[in-house]
Structure formats: C-alpha cells, structure tokens
Structure 1
Amino acid sequence: MKVDVCPCGRLDAHKRLLTYAACCAPLHAGEAAPDAERLMRSRYSAFVLADVPYLLATWHSSTRPATLELESQAKWLGLDIKSHRSTGVDRLEVEFVARFRLAGRAVRQHELSRFVREDGRWFYVDGDMR
C-alpha cells in the first residue's frame, strides 16, 4: 500500500502533516523510536498498515503475544495523543484515543499505554482501556 501522509497524524513545526517517509517509515524499517510517544504513533501507523511484524517487535517480551491477528475490515480514522508522562527512569505512559470503523460502526479506543526503554529502544508493555 502506498502511503503519502503518515497515518499517525504527526505535524511538523509549521503544523503540516508529515509524510509517511519522514515520520513512521524509518521506524518501521528498524530505526529506534526516539521516545515513547513516537513509538506509540509508529505502532498506530503499523495497525493502519497491517504491519504485524513491527507490532510484535515493538511489544515488550514480558507481555508480547505469540501471534497477533488484526481485524482486516477495520478502517482507521485517526489518532489523538492526549498526554504523555514519565513514570520513572526509562518508563513512560501515553494516553491516546484511536478511532476506527468496523462493520459500519464507529469505535473509539481510549487507552493509557505503558512503555519501557531497554538498551536504548522503547517497547510497548501494556495498557488500560479508559
């Protein structure tokens, strides 16, 4: 799938949407996310693009499932980062709302996600639905 604007909706300094190539593509290709928020955004983009290997690779080994099945009929509509805060050295929480449609029904996923940095790389640990 060709993607011009990045699905995560990140803006540049001039409040313009970043391209996928300038935003999440380098992370999907193996570059380490500089912070947990960027990892969160890249994971959202991976859901949009059905990049299961990336989602599993960025999931902490202590909570990562053996496999991941994505809902193929989901139409992703947008991501809103509500807040992010440090909870300790190399630990961060990101609160977000992801919106999508499934079988014609609007779904709003509001989650507080926890991330940890190990060996210079951020990983998704788990989250609580709000």
Structure 2
Amino acid sequence: MVNPACPCGSGELLHACCGPYHAGTAAPSAEALMRSRYSAYALGLIEYLARSTLPAQQGGLDLNAVQAWSLGSTWLGLEVEQAQLIEGDPAHATVTFTARWRDESGEHSHRERSTFVQSQGHWYFIDPTVALTVGRNDKCPCASGLKFKKCCSGYF
C-alpha cells in the first residue's frame, strides 16, 4: 500500500503529518490543528472535526451539514498565509488561510482568519458559527477557569 501525501499541502506523507493528530495525538500548534482540520475535511473525518472544535461548542455543530460538505467536495488545496500565537494563560492563536475545493456548483476559494485556544494541553478551533450563551462574568467556555470577559470574549 502506498502512503498518501497529506492533504494539508505540507509535502509530507499523511502518516507523518496530520495522521497522528487524527488518531488522537495533540496538535502542537494552532497551525498544525488547522492543517489537520483541512485534511479531515478532505478525508471525511467528521468525528475529528467535532472533537477538535471547542468542547463547549461541539453540541451545536450540524454534523450532517459538515459531512455533506466534506464528502460532496473535492478538496483542491490549502495555503496558510499567517499563524500568530497570542501568549497568555490560556494561549490563543489566529491562523489566516485560503482553502480551495470543487463541488457540484464549481470551484470555490475561501479565505478565513480562524481563532484557536489551548486548553488542557490541546488546541481547539473556536467556531464563530456556533453561538454560545455566556455572560461576561461567567466562566469561560474554554475551561481556563477565568471569567469569559478576561479570556475568550474577544474571539466570539
């Protein structure tokens, strides 16, 4: 069996790039997590996409829609423009990227600046499409133990 190239565009083989993250190893950076999420879309790994989203948002994901988009698309490439670590406790990061895919309506390109938070040794994607009901003085949904206003409020 031939080892496939990783869909994230790193030039590495899947088993040496995003494959370990899909199998449960914690991604060492927000950029690595973002690349592994792109690869998961390309490979139809819907459970990984859910698992790598902020736990407080996982219940609000429309997994049927995610699966339909993932499996109904041919993934054409990923370009990472910038990854920026925002030091703190917890650490946050942004990753700016462009993803390309083709579906039944043609070829598409989407540029995005995604936000991530590190919690308990794992990086998580903060999904701006999943609403959270949290007050400024409530505990932050990233499980940092901080109040929302002192932690992730600027990312929702």
Q: TM-score, normalised by structure 1?
A: 0.86
CA contact (8 A) 1:98 1:109 kept: yes
Structure holding more helix per residue: 2
Correspondence 1:105 to 2:106: yes
* Structure 2 alignment gaps of length 5 or more: 130-156
| Alignment match, 1:63 | 57
Paired position in structure 2 for 1:13 = none
Instruction: List gaps (5 residues or longer) in structure 1.
Output: 11-16
Query: Displacement, 1:84?
Result: 1.1
Deviations 1:55-96 (A, max 9, x none): 000000233334412223211000000101123421000000
Task: Report the equivalent of 1:14.
Answer: none
Q: How does 1:82-93 map to 2 (within 5 A)?
A: 82-89=81-88, 90-93=91-94
Percent identity reads 36
> Take 2:40 and 2:5, find their aligned partners in 1: how far apart are those partners?
14
Q: State the partner residue of 2:135.
A: none
RMSD between aligned residues = 1.7
TM-score (norm. length: structure 2): 0.72
Equivalent in the alignment of 2:117: 116
Runs in 1 of length 4+ with deviation above 6 angstroms? none
Q: Partner residue of 2:47? A: 53
Q: How many residues align?
A: 121
Residue in 1 aligned with 2:137?
none
Amino acid at match of 1:41: R
Structure with more strand by fraction: 1
Offset at 1:27?
Answer: 0.5
Who wins on radius of gyration, i.e. which is larger? 2
